Amino acid sequence: MNFGATWRSGRALIERAQLREVRPGRRLNYLQLDPKPGQPTLLLVHGSAASLSQYLPLVEPLQSLGYGIVTYDWYGCGGSEKPDSWAAYSFDELLADLSAVWKLAKACGAGPHFVAGHSFGTHLVIRLMASLAPDELQSVSGLVLLGAAKTFPEGHPVFNLPVFVLRWMQHGMTDAFLKMALAASCDPELRKQEEDACNGNPMYMCKAYYRQVRNATDADVAACQGLPALVVRGAEDGLVSAEDSKAIVEALPKARLKEVSRAGHAPMLEAPSEVAELVVEFVNAVIGS
């Protein structure tokens, strides 16, 4: 199955996203595409200081099959509201947002329902699973973990600096990040797109987020051990090593690891057709088991 999707695919879908108050005082840029009868729904959770736009090249081929999609921008990211508030960007607040979005996703279509996360978003997903009551956890058919690690760095010391200094450093930090995150063969236009997106993040949000971000605990991961999981790593990921990916796979007995060539830390953006094929294969295997 070759979908022919590229990093430019799915751009028009952003026009269907809209601000939605998912819980009091939290207005998020939210996109919902209902499934065709009998097709699954995927909840897609992006990573740190990113946006739902990174998923759109993957969404297009999945939607063409009738899959339902629910995705959103974290508070402070993309098209969501971005108040200058330290407490607003704690990981617990972001988890509460995801819990509210999960309720919307669970009501989108009759199921089955899958949940996907990227980078540190995988730990939000893992924490969501750990927070669910056993009967509600049974409504999750499986997980897709992209650019995942069992443990990510927490609270880089650079974010102790004042916001005005971080603003001055922002372009250099973005350049260093993208050199590690994107594959060497990355289209220069894609790199420019991601560079502009990173440099558009308010540094008061980045400081508050990165100072408060926390990994999922071993107990959180253990709560996911009964779920089938697909772990996808870009072969040229300079942020998450092969050993990092293997560690999360080893912690999840029903997980399988797939590596995508010519992709870095965001395989769903850099190699959307290949990732779509892996997702469809995984979903079909879970549904058919």
Distance CA 22, CA 77 (A): 15
- Give a yes or no: residue 3 inside a domain: no
- Give a yes or no: residue 4 inside a domain: no
Nearest 5°: the CA angle 56, 34, 44 is 40
**Residue 41 sits in which domain range?**
11-288
- How many CB atoms are closer than 10 A to CB 60? 23
The predicted-structure confidence for 185-239, as pLDDT tens digits, reads as follows: 999 999 999 999 999 999 999 999 999 999 999 999 999 999 999 999 999 999 9
Whether the upstream peptide bond of residue 112 has omega within 30° of 0, thus cis, is: yes
The predicted-structure confidence for 132-164, as pLDDT tens digits, reads as follows: 999 999 999 999 999 999 999 887 899 999 999
Find the length of the chain: 289
Calculate what percentage of the chain has a pLDDT beyond 90. 97
- Give a yes or no: residue 17 inside a domain: yes
Distance CA 253, CA 267 (A): 23
Dihedrals φ, ψ of 117, to 5°? -135, 155
Q: Give me the sign of the Cα torsion angle 56, 190, 3, 252.
A: negative
Instruction: State mean pLDDT over 108-126.
Output: 97
Contacts of 179 (CB under 8 A, 6+ apart): 238
Residue 5 tokens read as 């999707």
Beta-carbon-side half-sphere exposure of residue 216 (alpha carbons within 13 Å): 26
CATH of the domain at 219: 3.40.50.1820
Instruction: State mean pLDDT over 56-72.
Output: 98
Residue among 66, 64, 54 at smallest CA distance from 116: 54
- Give a yes or no: residue 5 inside a domain: no
- Give a yes or no: residue 266 inside a domain: yes
- Give a yes or no: residue 2 inside a domain: no
Please, what is the average pLDDT of the chain?
Answer: 97
pLDDT at position 55, please?
99
Dihedrals φ, ψ of 86, to 5°? -60, -50
Confidence of residue 32 (pLDDT cuts 50, 70, 90): very high
pLDDT at position 155, please?
78
The predicted-structure confidence for 67-104, as pLDDT tens digits, reads as follows: 999 999 999 999 999 999 999 999 999 999 999 999 99
Distance CA 229, CA 141 (A): 9
Task: Evaluate if residue 1 carries a pLDDT over 80.
Answer: no
Contacts of 67 (CB under 8 A, 6+ apart): 35, 39, 40, 41, 42
Contact (Cβ atoms closer than 8 angstroms) between residue 116 and residue 125: yes
- Give a yes or no: residue 260 inside a domain: yes
Say what the alpha-carbon torsion angle 89, 103, 127, 35 is, to the nearest 10 degrees: -110
Q: How many domains does the chain have?
A: 1
- Under DSSP, the state recorded for 102 is H
Distance CA 124, CA 35 (A): 24
Residue among 108, 99, 109 at smallest CA distance from 45: 99
Beta-carbon-side half-sphere exposure of residue 191 (alpha carbons within 13 Å): 17
Beta-carbon-side half-sphere exposure of residue 211 (alpha carbons within 13 Å): 17
pLDDT at position 139, please?
95
- Give a yes or no: residue 53 inside a domain: yes
